[in-house]
Amino acid sequence: MWRRSSVVHVVDELARAQRRERWRVEVEALLVGLAWAVWSVRLELALVLVLAVMQRLVGGVLGWIAVVACVAGVVAIPRTRRFLGHLLRAMHVRRAWARATIDAGVAAGPFRCPGVWSVSRVPAGDVLDVHVRRGQSVADLDARSEHLAACLRAREVRVLRDRRNAARASVLVIRRDPFEDAAPVTWPSVTTERLSLWEPVPLGVDEQGEHVAVSLVERNVLIGGEPGAGKSAALSVVIAAATLDPETRVWLLDGKLVELAAWAPLARKVAGPSGDDALALLREVRDVMDERYRELLAKGQRKVRRGDGLPLHLVVCDELAFYLTVPERAVQKEFAELLRDLVARGRAAGVIVCAATQKPGADVVPSALRDLFGFRLAMRCTTPQASDTILGQGWASAGADASDIPGAQRGVGYLLADGDRPVRMRGYYLSDEDVSAIAERASAARADKWLAEGVSA
Ligand SMILES: Nc1ncnc2c1ncn2[C@@H]1O[C@H](COP(=O)(O)OP(=O)(O)OP(=O)(O)O)[C@@H](O)[C@H]1O
């Protein structure tokens, strides 16, 4: 039988042990916090230390003069000022990131935050090269991106996993919309004499200020968006690249008659707002494609290759909806079949289809047809469903929603290339004068080529 005094003694001992443990945990947390605070200002401390050592070495008033001269020198020289400014800003972003990952529940505490290996400034905000720690995943980061954005006081945080390393991600902290009130960006090849459609075609700039270029060979492009979103302007850039390649044959279907009129003299054939003309054009391209397959068979090739003398064919359709909603059902049906055939079979034969629609609905672009387009550009749409009709089911809810694009931002859209995450970009713009100048140069290049072939024949 235990006496009362011994029970009280055991209880006191237990309470003391608990207090000691609590103390230990609190002191440990305090020390870790202090170490972390010092570590997070290591650059600033190092700079102060260097200046302090300099003052001590030189000594006295002269030492202080040396410190002031050193600081003034760094500030006065633009290169060093920029360099130091970048380092200090990067440290500030790192600190904010570390705090945000703890507060958002991604990291369990200091020294457990996903590491930031580099910080670069881009027009939209900052890009962080992040490496997650053991036990963490990039998917966790992505799942907490809303919380991270709130902690960082940013508009949005986008996490893009490195394809080759599951522990690494590129994190875009969006602080401003780089396309807001931005002037049109001229196509970089506007003054180029000649291009090759085998090379990637620059389409626009993304939020990080990087050029977005697409390699059109063996790809098809689908563009959707509400009227005035910038579809014809985007098509113009693609046509400009094709016409500047004298080897490429261009076929135009212009449901609005005037949109592509400037390019008409360079086209192999043009169909205006007439279902029958459109069918005749598509039938001709299909015959070219079938003939091309026979040529490839004879050569023992499975697809066209650069340098084998087989020209590429670019078929551009501005306003799919026009041809797919003509009153004659038979024309609608045949148009849909021919287009589907070209999109499905044309790639290996060097036939590239580039189609735009202002009515991104399942009746115009059924998902079976949409999925055949390697590149899909959703410009401003009226609903998230319309955006998904172009990009694919689920992208709007995953953040790539073209109905979020402000109405004033013409030429902005989400580009989905080869199944990656859609990239928000702004298309290059060609003014009417640019289009006329390019068309003139392209005509001259084609005439030169034609003459050269005539002379050598
Ligand atoms: N990339 C761009 N940069 C700047 N402005 C642009 C851009 N694209 C389009 N715009 C502006 O938006 C206007 C409408 O563009 P565009 O005609 O290409 O739209 P659309 O989607 O083809 O319209 P619709 O379906 O009615 O033909 C252009 O006249 C131009 O002023």
Is 196 flagged in the annotation as binding? no
Report how far apart the first and last C-alpha atoms of the chain are (Å, whole number): 119
Q: Which atom of ligand 1 is nearest to the CA of 412?
A: 1
Amino acid at 291: E
Distance 412 CA to ligand 1 centre (A): 10
Q: How far is the CA of 182 from the centre of ligand 1 (A)?
A: 14
DSSP alpha helices (H): ranges in 117-162?
A: 138-143, 145-151
CA-to-CA dists, residue 50 to 54, 74, 87, 289, angstroms: 6, 14, 16, 71
Establish whether residue 229 lines the binding site of ligand 1, counting it when its CB lies within 6 angstroms of any ligand atom.
yes
pLDDT at 10: 85
Instruction: Tell me which of 125 and 399 has the higher pLDDT.
Output: 125
Give yes or no for residue 316 having a pLDDT over 90.
yes
Ligand 1 atom at minimal distance to the Cα of residue 229: 21
Mean pLDDT, the chain, whole residue set: 91
State what percent of residues in the chain have pLDDT above 90.
Answer: 75
- Is 226 labelled as part of a ligand binding site? yes
200-226: pLDDT as tens digits: 999 999 998 899 999 999 999 999 999
Atom of ligand 1 nearest to the CA of 358: 25
pLDDT for res 278: 95
Sequence ranges of the domains in the chain = 104-176, 201-456
Instruction: Return all residues near 121 (Cβ < 8 A) that are at least 6 apart.
Output: 86, 89
Q: How far is the CA of 227 from the centre of ligand 1 (A)?
A: 8
* Residue 278, token pair as written in the block: 């459109």
Q: What is the ipTM of this complex?
A: 0.96
Name, in order, each residue with C-beta under 8 angstroms of 178's C-beta and a sequence gap of 6 or more.
Answer: 122, 123, 124, 207, 209
**Region of poorest pLDDT, from 90-104, 160-174, 246-260:** 246-260
> Which amino acid, 37?
A
- The CB of 407 under 6 Å from ligand 1? The reply is no
The number of the ligand 1 atom at minimal distance from the alpha carbon of 428 is 1
Q: Provide the pLDDT for residue 457.
A: 47
pLDDT value, residue 455 = 54
Which residues contact residue 397 at a Cβ distance below 8 angstroms, ignoring those fewer than 6 apart?
384
Mean pLDDT of 277-306: 93
Tens digits of per-residue pLDDT, 43-56?
999 999 999 999 99
3-state SS, one letter per residue, for the chain: CCCHHHHHHHHHHHHHHHHHHHHHHHHHHHHHHHHHHHHHCHHHHHHHHHHHHHHHHHCHHHHHHHHHHHHHHHHHCHHHHHHHHHHHHHHHHHHHHHHHHHHCCCCCCCCCCCEEEEEEEECCEEEEEEECCCCCCHHHHHHCHHHHHHHCCCCEEEEEECCCCCCEEEEEEECCCCCCCCCCCECCCCCCCCCCCCCCEEEEEECCCCEEEECCCCCCEEEECCCCCCHHHHHHHHHHHHHCCCCCEEEEEECCCCCCHHHHHHCCEEECCCHHHHHHHHHHHHHHHHHHHHHHHHHCCCCCCCCCCCCCEEEEEECHHHHHCCCCHHHHHHHHHHHHHHHHHCCCCCEEEEEEECCCCCCCCCHHHHCCCCEEEEECCCCHHHHHHHHCCCCCCCCCCHHHCCCCCCCEEEEEECCCCCEEEEECECCHHHHHHHHHHHHHHHHHHHHHHHHHC
Tens-place pLDDT, residues 405-427:
998 999 999 999 865 789 999 99
User: Is the C-beta atom of 232 inside 6 A of ligand 1?
Assistant: yes
Q: Looking at ligand 1, which residue's alpha carbon is closest to its atom 24?
A: 227
pLDDT tens readout for residues 180-193: 988 999 999 999 98
Residues 29, 112 contacting (CB under 8 angstroms) = no
Q: For residue 225, say whether it is annotated as part of any ligand binding site.
A: yes
pLDDT at position 395 over 70: yes
> What is the whole-number distance in angstroms between the Cα of residue 231 and the centre of ligand 1?
6
Q: Name which of 169, 167, 168, 166 is nearest 158 in CA terms.
A: 169
Which range has the top average pLDDT, 170-174, 325-329, 358-362, 416-420? 170-174
Nearest-CA residue for atom 26 of ligand 1: 227
> 134 pLDDT exceeds 80?
yes
pLDDT at 266 over 60: yes
CA of 183 to the centre of ligand 1 (A): 13
User: Residue 229, annotated ligand binder?
Assistant: yes
Task: Report the interhelical angle of 42-58 vs 78-103 (nearest 10°).
Answer: 140
Tell me what pLDDT residue 59 has.
Answer: 86
| Residue 255 confidence (pLDDT) | 86
> Closest Cα to atom 4, ligand 1: which residue?
184
Q: How far apart are CA 204 and CA 210, in angstroms?
A: 8
pLDDT at 283 over 90: yes
Q: Are strands 221-224 and 375-379 parallel, antiparallel or unpaired?
A: parallel
Please indicate whether residue 413, judged by its CB atom, sits closer than 6 Å to ligand 1.
Answer: no
Q: Which helix (H) or strand (E) holds 3?
A: none
Q: Is the pLDDT of residue 1 over 60?
A: no
Mean pLDDT of 94-120: 93
Distance 224 CA to ligand 1 centre (A): 12
Long-range Cβ contacts of 389-396 (<8 Å, 24+ apart): 389/224, 389/360, 389/361, 389/362, 389/365, 390/222, 390/223, 390/224, 390/225, 390/360, 390/365, 391/416, 391/422, 392/367, 392/416, 393/367, 395/422
Decide: 375 in ligand 1 pocket, CB within 6 A. no
- Dig out the tokens for 71 from the structure: 């600081």
Distance 171 CA to ligand 1 centre (A): 31
- pLDDT tens for 329-354 read 899 899 999 999 999 999 999 999 99
Consult the annotation and say whether 232 binds a ligand.
Answer: yes
Q: Which two tokens stand for residue 199?
A: 């090379």
Looking at residue 368, its pLDDT comes to: 78
d(CA 93, CA 97) in angstroms, rounded, equals 6
215 appears as a binding residue in the annotation: no
| 434-455 pLDDT per residue, tens | 999 999 999 988 887 777 766 5
pLDDT for the residue 93: 96
d(CA 9, CA 199): 85
Under CATH, which number does the domain 104-176 receive? Answer: 3.30.980.40
Q: What is the mean pLDDT of residues 319-323?
A: 89
Ligand 1 contact via 184 beta carbon (within 6 Å): yes
Which protein residue has the closest C-alpha to ligand 1 atom 14?
228
Topology adopted by domain 201-456? Rossmann fold (3.40.50)
| Mutational pocket test of ligand 1: of 186, 211, 232, 318, the residue with most ligand atoms within 8 Å of the beta carbon | 232
Shortest-distance Cα residue to atom 13 of ligand 1: 228
E strand map for 264-350: 269-271, 313-318
